[in-house]
Structure 1
Amino acid sequence: MKNSSQRRVEEFTAGYYGLCAGGGMLSAGTTHLAITPLDVLKVNMQVTLRRLQSYFDFTLNVFVNPMKYNGILSGFSTLCREEGASALWRGWSGKFFGYGVQGGCKFGLYEYFKTLYGGILVDQRKGVIFFLSGASAQVFADVALCPFEAVKVRVQAQSSFAKGLADGFPKLYATEGLYGFYKGLLPLWGRNLPFSMIMFTTFEHSVELMYHKIIQKRREDCSKAQQLAVTCSAGYAAGAIGTVISNPADNIVSSLYNKKAATIMQAVKNIGFANLFTRSLPIRIAIVGPAVTLQWFLYDSIKVFSGLPTSGGLRRHLKDNELLSYEAVP
């Protein structure tokens, strides 16, 4: 590990947490922007719009139609044929800015809470600290994301709603008020809290496993390329496992935002308990696994460029004569 004099920013300082937030914002925003076509297909696999004329009035019914999009390739073909290739990039601004803000909060606050809880819960197992840190960071990250997600899902699934954030925000506020931006916050927490807790914990344990059991060298003795390879491997495992855990809530979020259901219980009833776990799962794994891997790679590349160690592990810091020292937690 480099000496403190070789680092551009010291760990456990305001500058360090700011760097982590900036790295999280850049990595999450760019990766989510890159996978916008997959996300558009995922949302449309979960909900399809159809207008039905009743005897007395016109109503818009939103319902799940898994047969229309029964695969990734056929789904892309259907979307392009019916709505044009540009439809694949609907909601790109919500993906870039919304998940950029969320990523900044999530990664920056995770590092902060991991240091905070590591100093308070000195007798707790590391897994408990990782769980609590991931959950604490995600609570704030989802509050920041929720308005962007509300507009993004509408734009992606309802082509007539708005073109993007610029016209989507005022339109949603005019029709539903502030509640319209946050009515999906609870299911969003239900989706992202388990995902974040599992993702960060899986990542941390995967990093430890690879250094101790596979590479069998200390992080400090590995090259930058080796460290980033560990980051990518642990990131993919974290993303895949977290996706399976969070899939039911992801289906509920899409149902609520697209007015298929008014409440969480109604959404569960309409979708079906078994379908909560299976619907859109393959495409979510295709989206989230590589996206999380790329996020961790970009995030840790920024750390390495700044002279910091890659992510993973729990360190406590003590101040002694104005110098920071680091103690590895067993």
Structure 2
Amino acid sequence: MAEEIDYEALGSKAGLGVNMLAGALAGITEHAVMFPIDTMKTRMQVFATSPAAVYTGIGNAFTRISSTEGMRALWRGVSSVILGAGPAHAVHFGMYEAIKELAGGNDEAKNQWLATSFAGASATMASDALMNPFDVIKQRMQVHDSQFRSVFTAMKTIYRSEGLSAFYVSYPTTLTMSVPFTAIQFTVYEQIKKMLNPSNQYSPVTHMIAGGLAGGVAAGATTPLDVAKTLLQTRGSSKDPEIRRVGGMVDAFRIILKRDGLKGFSRGFTPRVLAHMPSNALCWLSYEFFKVAMRE
């Protein structure tokens, strides 16, 4: 019988290109499938000035958006995610695998928790720099009564009216959220995968369970920062003068606390966790599958 090949060895043997391509395909798959729930999360996090744009829960958001704007409204902005997710996730997974290998994350004799956390955080800083402008455009297209129907129209309009800074005003907040999110996600994923699959063979069920749990834990822990990020990224679409003047994460926290108290930092918690659990499960399943498929 032929000797079993440890598929995890792909990270160090198949090259950066394979990991990047696998990551790009996984990222596009993840974001596209769960996009409607992400739209509902964005709508619930925005401080609306019109009662028509206030949603009391995920069921209420789905019913009202689909009945008043049509099902297509739930997918508005998905093209921006597809354009950005490919290169951003390619950089993310490529850097993650490279740094994890260099830091000893594949060596059982070294501190794998520290290595995977460091690799995940480093990968996030690079990928968010690419993804942030696309995320701004996506959220501007998702909000209630958005004027944008095209990614490129939104990009040109935002740039002309608000300047380049509009695409990066949320970047510090995004990093503040994404670095712990990714560190938690990758660490939980690797540990659960190791517990469920100690033989380290290709196991789709293991990747889905570990990915889903890791995504849910990371999403729940970082929801307060996501609320602030949404406020910053949609400030230009708001009719509220105070929100339009918000200049950074501290200002966003102040407004959230002032208007909604501590509970304001949990806005969109349920759809965020519901979106990240299956999307992360799908992302990791796709990533591990594409790694094996491309090697074969």
Aligned residues of 1:24 and 1:299 also touching (Cα < 8 A): yes
For residues 35 and 186 of structure 1, the distance between their equivalents in structure 2, rounded to whole angstroms, comes to: 25
Q: Supply the distance in 1 between the matched residues of 2:18 and 2:142 (Cα, whole angstroms).
A: 32
199, 204, 215: which one pairs with 1:228? 204
Secondary structure in structure 2 of the residue aligned to 1:69 = coil
Q: Matches of 1:294 and 1:10 in 2, distance apart?
A: 20
TM-score (norm 1): 0.78
Give the C-alpha shift of residue 286 in structure 1.
Answer: 0.8
Structure 1 counterpart of 2:200, one-letter code: R
Counterpart CA distance in 2 for 1:38 and 1:69 is 13
Q: Do the aligned residues in 2 keep the contact of 1:199 with 1:239 (CA within 8 Å)?
A: yes
Q: Deviations over 1:270-292 (max 9, x none)?
A: 21262354211111111000000
1:19 and 1:89 map into 2 onto residues whose CA distance is 30
How far is 1:38 from its partner?
Answer: 1.0
Question: CA distance change for structure 1 residues 172 and 107 in 2, over 3 Å: closer, same or farther?
Answer: same
Match in the other structure for 2:238: none
Give the aligned residue type for 1:283.
P
Q: Secondary structure at the match of 1:111?
A: helix
Partner residue in 2 for 1:12: 12
Q: In 2, are the aligned partners of 1:151 and 1:164 still within 8 Å (CA)?
A: no
Checking the alignment, whether the CA contact within 8 Å between 1:162 and 1:168 is kept in structure 2 is yes
Deviates more, 1:73-82 or 1:267-276: 267-276
Aligned partner of 2:219 among 227, 232, 243: 243
**What is the Cα deviation at residue 50 of structure 1?**
3.3
Q: Identity percentage over the alignment?
A: 26
Contact 1:198 1:238 in 2 (8 A): yes
Q: CA deviation at 1:247?
A: 0.7
Distance 1:248 1:87, change over 3 A: same
Alignment of 1:114-263 (within 5 A): 114-118=100-104, 125-157=111-143, 159-212=145-198, 218-220=199-201, 224=202, 227-259=203-235, 260=243, 261-263=246-248
What SS class does the counterpart of residue 12 from structure 1 fall into? helix
For 1:36-55, what aligned pairs fall within 5 Å after superposition? Answer: 36-50=35-49
Q: Tell me, yes or no, if the aligned pair for 2:132 and 2:167 is still in contact at 8 Å.
A: yes
- Give, in whole Å, the separation in 2 of the partners of 1:178 and 1:246: 26
Using the size of structure 2 for normalisation, the TM-score is 0.86
2:217 aligned partner, one-letter code: I
Deviations along 1:27-66, one digit per CA (max 9) or x if unpaired, are 1112211222111111110115437xxxxxxxxxxxxx79
Partners of 2:123 and 2:81 lie apart in 1 by: 19
User: Which fold has the larger relative contact order, with Cα–Cα distance below 8 Å and residues 6 or more apart in sequence?
Assistant: 2
Kept in 1, the 8 Å contact 2:216–2:277? The answer is: yes
For residues 251 and 237 of structure 1, the distance between their equivalents in structure 2, rounded to whole angstroms, comes to 21
1:274 aligns to 2:262 (yes or no): yes
Equivalent position to 1:110, from 93, 96, 102: 96
Tell me which structure has the larger Cα radius of gyration. Answer: 1
- Matched residue SS, 1:219: coil
* Per-residue CA distance 1:225-257 (angstroms, 9 max, x = gap): xx1211111111110111112111110011011
Between the aligned partners of 1:11 and 1:299, the Cα distance in structure 2 is 12
Q: Does 2:56 match 1:82? A: no
On the 8 A contact 2:11/2:97 being kept in 1, the answer is no
Task: Identify unmatched segments of 5+ residues in structure 2.
Answer: 236-242
How far apart, in 1, do the equivalents of 2:33 and 2:109 lie? 42
1:176 & 1:288 partners in 2: Cα distance? 31
**Higher share in strand:** 1
> Do residues 300 (structure 1) and 281 (structure 2) align?
no
Deviation for aligned residue 1:170: 1.3
Give the drift of 1:158. Answer: 5.2
- Residues 152 and 164 of structure 1 are in contact (CA less than 8 Å); yes or no, is this contact kept in structure 2? no
Distance in 2 separating the partners of 1:276 and 1:131? 29
Give 1:55's aligned residue.
none
How many residue pairs are counted as aligned between the two chains? 281
